[in-house]
């Protein structure tokens, strides 16, 4: 369907107040799931991030890479083992995690942002000891629990006009490297930066009253409502830690948090620059 020039102008006019609201504000985007694997969606997400940078939004892109790590481990003949949904990470595995996250994925995202006209710089949680961590659970090996976040390297990059692209590996004072959950890392970084918005991309529409019915999307949820939904079993499984990360971010100073369906084309722009939005907004009250 052809869109007239008048329609294009109307869309831009409607977006203006949202652009003004986010101008010079920090927005942290946790990138993963299907939007990271599907090449067409990846191209769209990177283009949307560059657009946001060009209109004055200070975007911080935080990424994971679970499927890619699993694929690399399979290539070297190492089986992936999970406990409570977290990857058991021994010495050999953590070296693969570092190589995949801080290497191939991080640099490919930087390269893609640059080809879309953006200015990006890739860093990991190890750089500048940005993400300090300790052992989360002895059963998991080198899976880290964040103890401290130093956002100065991110702030320095933003000041120089870059989109920081952050891979979620951390370290401790002894130099041990840890695999860090990307949702947790994004929430901690957003909180430390008092971000205007944290957008966490996932493979479902948001929080659903009925997990099998996309039309049952809950567009807004308060802390109290979230706790009740957990008690009722509506928020369950892997969505529990995701929602908990959202709540932690708000407690740390993030104004609002969105759980977003990364499978929807241009979902970031729909959420940030339109009335309708594209996921579930988590608010304190």
Instruction: Give the pLDDT score at 2.
Output: 59
Q: Which of 6, 28, 17 is nearest to 186 (CA)?
A: 28
Instruction: Give the pLDDT score at 238.
Output: 77
Instruction: Give the pLDDT score at 11.
Output: 74
Instruction: Give the pLDDT score at 85.
Output: 73
What is the residue whose two structure tokens read 């990360």? 245
Which residues in the chain land under pLDDT 50? none
Question: How much is the pTM?
Answer: 0.92
Spatial separation of the C-alpha atoms in residues 151 and 83, rounded to whole Å: 30
Instruction: Give the pLDDT score at 83.
Output: 82
Domains in the chain: ranges and CATH: 27-70+99-125+160-168+181-283 (3.40.1160.10)
Give the Cα-Cα-Cα angle 245, 198, 96 (nearest 5 degrees): 65
Count other Cβ atoms within 10 Å, centred on residue 29.
27
Instruction: Give the pLDDT score at 34.
Output: 67
**Bridge partners, 179 (sequence order):** 143, 169
Instruction: Give the pLDDT score at 212.
Output: 82
Spatial separation of the C-alpha atoms in residues 182 and 30, rounded to whole Å: 7
Edge-to-edge order in the sheet of strand 144-149: 144-149, 131-135, 169-171, 177-179
């Amino acid at each position: 369907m052809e869109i007239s020039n008048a329609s294009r102008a109307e869309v831009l006019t409607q977006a203006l107040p949202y652009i003004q609201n986010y101008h010079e504000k920090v927005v942290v985007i946790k990138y993963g799931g299907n939007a990271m694997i599907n090449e067409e969606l990846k191209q769209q997400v990177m283009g949307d991030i560059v657009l946001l940078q060009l209109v004055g939004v200070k975007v911080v892109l935080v990424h994971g890479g679970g499927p890619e790590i699993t694929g690399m481990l399979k290539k070297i003949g190492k089986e992936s083992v999970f406990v409570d949904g977290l990857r058991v990470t021994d010495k050999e595995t953590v070296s693969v995690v570092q190589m995949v996250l801080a290497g191939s994925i991080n640099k490919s995202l930087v390269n893609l942002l640059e080809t879309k006209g953006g200015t990006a710089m890739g860093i990991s949680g190890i750089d500048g000891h940005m993400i300090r961590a300790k052992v989360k659970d002895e059963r998991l090996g080198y899976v880290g629990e964040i103890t401290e976040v130093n956002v100065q390297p991110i702030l320095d990059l933003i000041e120089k006009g870059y989109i920081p692209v952050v891979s979620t590996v951390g370290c401790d004072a002894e130099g041990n490297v840890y695999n860090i959950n990307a949702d947790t890392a994004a929430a901690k970084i957003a909180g430390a930066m008092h971000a205007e918005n944290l957008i966490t991309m996932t493979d479902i529409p948001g929080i659903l009253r009925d997990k099998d019915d996309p039309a049952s999307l809950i567009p807004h949820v308060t802390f109290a409502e979230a706790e009740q939904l957990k008690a009722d079993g509506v928020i369950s499984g892997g969505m529990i830690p995701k929602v908990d990360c959202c709540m932690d971010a708000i407690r740390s100073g993030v104004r609002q948090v969105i759980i977003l369906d990364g499978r929807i084309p241009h979902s970031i722009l729909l959420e940030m620059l339109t009335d309708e939005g594209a996921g579930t907004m988590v608010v304190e009250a």
